[in-house]
Structure formats: structure tokens, C-alpha cells
Amino acid sequence: MAIWRRAIEPQTGTLPPAEARAILRLKLAEADLDRADALAAKAKAGKLTRREEQQLENYLSVGSALEFLKSKARRSLRRAKATI
């Protein structure tokens, strides 16, 4: 996660508005959200296989990276409004 955070720099608002709006439209597919929820429930019960554990880690990594991007996009749009 630290690598993603450094690569994306969510604390900066340096994206052009059109790009920021495009990023805010990104989301995981419903099937992926359902699978991640099922894996999380199974993890709480302590019943994940090693393969499922890796899948859950992948979902969490992608979800975090997406949130970093969206944070940067929101900051970029606020910054653009402030300069108008």
C-alpha cells in the first residue's frame, strides 16, 4: 500500500478536471464486490484457503489504489474550483 500511495500521491491535486472526473467514475464490478464480501466473511470465520487469502489481498490492494486515485481526483477538482 505504501508503494501505491507514493506512486499516486493522493494528497496532491494535480489532475486536470476532465481526468479527475473520469477517475471518479471508476468502480469495481458488482461481481467483484460480491466476491470480496464473501471472502471477507470467510476470513472473519477463519476459513480462508491460501488461494482465497491471496484473492482477498488482491481485492484490498486494488480497492485501496482506487481510493487513492479518487482522493487525488477530488482534491484536483477542489483545487480547480478554487482557482476559478
pLDDT score at 1: 83
pTM given for the model: 0.84
Q: Where are the beta strands (DSSP E) in the chain?
A: none
Q: How confident is the prediction for the chain on average, in pLDDT?
A: 95
Positive or negative CA dihedral for 55, 62, 4, 40? negative
Taking the alpha carbons at both ends of the chain, their separation in whole angstroms is 34
pLDDT score at 84: 67
Q: Does position 43 have pLDDT exceeding 80, yes or no?
A: yes
Average pLDDT over residues 34-48: 97
Positive or negative CA dihedral for 72, 14, 25, 35? negative
Average pLDDT over residues 48-75: 96
Q: pLDDT above 70 covers what percent of the chain?
A: 99
